[in-house]
Structure 1
């Protein structure tokens, strides 16, 4: 699967056996990889003498409202692998005969269950009141003009910086960067790295693992020194 996907998959594989009974159907969903979730699945079909009228077709969609753009019949010994992301919509049509599959699940090296536990611990008992008062007027103005999801993510990034022990100005810079109010272009390498990493863990906590965004983060922090207070988070988010 590493060769097929070109992804840095860890040596963790979860295998599940699934059985659908007549009349059952799986609706359209994406299974987007939240923090700590698998990123690739390989579905192996174990349905001998499958016929079209038996149903159980795996369908892929470009959106929840679109028609299927690709279909995989559940023929015996056929395997189909796919990448999970926020738009990886798929479904299974109704079955008239039992449908049996074995699913192999694979994890990205930068989105492991260990990272999930670390992120959850970092953001345990969030109270935005713990942030410095210097941020209050900036956050209040942002909340009047920006979506709640945006300001919550920015506040979460600020919490990460605060809990890592950074000063007030760095926390403000991190909030503004995550909210899209300004770009962190400081010449101070540690501030730059901390702000980008805080934005990333805030996205993991609030949204999901975005492979394209992770590749950008990896490129932006490539060659930068790993600073002491960031080591635990950095090594989980950007493993060698």
Structure 2
């Protein structure tokens, strides 16, 4: 399964496998297109295809095996969650250039496997990878039978599929990073429910007003959101102000108090998730910054979701 992957780093990290599965595995996966399932038809200007969630039709043993292999290939801490989608494209359909960046709670790695026998160049349906939405394709993968491409999703993972002239069949496997799960997404939404910046302590008002007059709105919104997180966790006005200034880039959190330091960094990360998307490099920096620090009680629910212990997560 997924033997001899060819790794590439441009235009973004991805790998390519010429023969993804065994003949027996391919035959079983092909049957998914023959099932009388409920297909969702996407017919927008930019994204035209039909999708069907076939996860429950994939044996648990197969899911476990492919998850373990994807962990090996990517080196990422992928949780015990796999969602599998069958995709059909009919003549005239196309998928425009997009990045599928991993929003809060979204998958971080995708494996795309083709099931198109006797494909010819004139059939179209080529998966193209780009470094920008305006540029030319920098890598192309023909949708030939049993070929696979796996790639990390982030804000610059631009890809698209050329127009097809013959039906195109694809199975897509989706995998989640341990620090960007649907459970974390629910936790973030609950923390910031009924968001209201009137919760600021009065000592923050002049600082926030000055920042709003000189900084971009998205920066001050994220800083305000971090301050709300600290307030709702029960921290004092000084820590809330420190958190706002840290998230706005007005100053660096240099408090000697370990709990305040951890709280400010976690609040900044939660605000980033709420406003933007999951960024693997940014998460790696957070993990490094908080390594070896005690997990304080009032931060524990958030900490465990943002920085889970991998060995414990595997046992769950």
How much does 1:66 deviate? 1.0
How much does 1:3 deviate? 0.5
Deviations 1:207-229 (A, max 9, x none): 00000000000000000000000
> Which aligned pairs between 1:1-240 and structure 2 lie closer than 5 A?
1-240=70-309
CA distance in 2, matches of 1:142, 1:69: 41
CA distance in 2, matches of 1:183, 1:63: 32
Tell me what 2:11 maps to. none
How much does 1:159 deviate? 0.5
Match of 2:113, SS? strand
Match of 1:71, SS? strand
Stretches of structure 1 lacking an aligned partner (at least 5 in a row)? none
CA distance in 1, matches of 2:289, 2:264: 12
CA distance in 2, matches of 1:63, 1:80: 19
How much does 1:25 deviate? 0.5
CA distance in 2, matches of 1:50, 1:162: 59
Match of 1:203, SS? helix
How much does 1:130 deviate? 1.1
CA distance in 2, matches of 1:203, 1:50: 44
Match of 1:200, SS? helix
Q: Which has the higher contact order (CA 8 A, sep 6+)?
A: 1
Tell me what 2:13 maps to. none
CA distance in 2, matches of 1:69, 1:134: 52
Match of 1:104, SS? strand
Match of 1:68, SS? coil
CA RMSD of aligned residues (A): 0.4
How much does 1:133 deviate? 1.0
Deviations 1:177-223 (A, max 9, x none): 00000000111000000000000010000000000000000000000
Size of the aligned set, in residue pairs, is 240
Q: TM-score, normalised by structure 1?
A: 0.99
Match of 1:141, SS? helix
Q: TM-score, normalised by structure 2?
A: 0.76
